[in-house]
Amino acid sequence: MDFVGDPGELLKMMESCKIGTKRALFYQAYALYYEKRKRYVEAEKIYQLGVE
């Protein structure tokens, strides 16, 4: 994710194509993206999706 211009766009595309959505690391990376931007509510939602 460090080498991508906009990780949010990549994560959204991966989610829409169901790439990695069965792996905890996907949700961890997605939530970290929001945490780095201080968007904690969105990060919490992503963590919840990861444990469902």
Hey, where are the domains in the chain? 20-52
Task: Kindly indicate the confidence band of residue 28, based on its pLDDT and cuts at 50, 70 and 90.
Answer: very high
Q: CB-based contacts of 9: which residues, under 8 Å, 6+ apart? A: none
Q: What is the pLDDT of residue 5?
A: 86
Task: Kindly indicate the confidence band of residue 40, based on its pLDDT and cuts at 50, 70 and 90.
Answer: very high
Task: Give the CA count within 13 Å in the CB-facing half-sphere of 50.
Answer: 17
Prediction pTM value:
0.86
Calculate mean pLDDT across residues 35-49. Answer: 97
User: Where does residue 11 rank: exposed (0-12), middle (13-18), buried (19+ CB within 10 A)?
Assistant: buried
Contact 43, 31 (CB under 8 A): yes
Q: Which two tokens stand for residue 40?
A: 């904690």
